[in-house]
Structure 1
Amino acid sequence: MGGTQSLALQQGKGPHQVGCTDVMVGHTWQGLLLRLFYPCLPQGGAEQPLWIPRYEYCAGLANLTLLSCSAPLISLALGSCRVPVSWNGPFKPCSTGYPLIIFSHGLGAFRTLYSSVCLELASWGFVVAALEHRDHSASATYFCTAEDGREEWIPYQQVPQGQKEFYFRKKQGSIDLSRVTVMGHSFGGVTAVLALVKEPRFSAGHPSCCRCAVALDAWMFPLENALYPEVTKPVLFINSEKFQTPESIAKMKRLSSRNSQTKIITILGSVHHSHTDFTFLTGKLFSLIFGARGTLDPYKGLEITSQAALAFLQKHLNLQEEFAQWDNLLEGIGDSVVPEAPFCHPNL
Structure 2
Amino acid sequence: MEAVSNGEKVIRRLYEITKNYDLGFETQIEQILKMGLERFNLDIAILSKIDNNRYVIKHCVVPADVELVSGVELDLDTTYCHITCQANSPIALEYVGKHDQYASHPAYQSFGLESYIGMPIKLNGKLYGTLNFSSPTPYDRKFAAVDIDAIQLMASWIEVEIIRRNQEKRLIDLNLALEKKAYEDSLTLIPNRRAVFKHINADLNRVSREKSNAALAIIDIDLFKNINDTYGHKKGDEVLIKVAESIDNDIRDYDFVARFGGEEFLLWLPNCDMSIATMVCDRIRHNIEALSLCETPITISIGITCFGADMIQKKQAKERVDELILQADKALYKAKDAGRNCIKFYDIA
Same fold flag (TM > 0.5) = no
Q: TM-score scaled by structure 1?
A: 0.23
With a CA cutoff of 8 Å and minimum separation of 6, indicate the structure with the bigger relative contact order.
1
**Structure ID, larger Rg:** 2
Q: TM-score scaled by structure 2?
A: 0.23
Higher helix share: 2
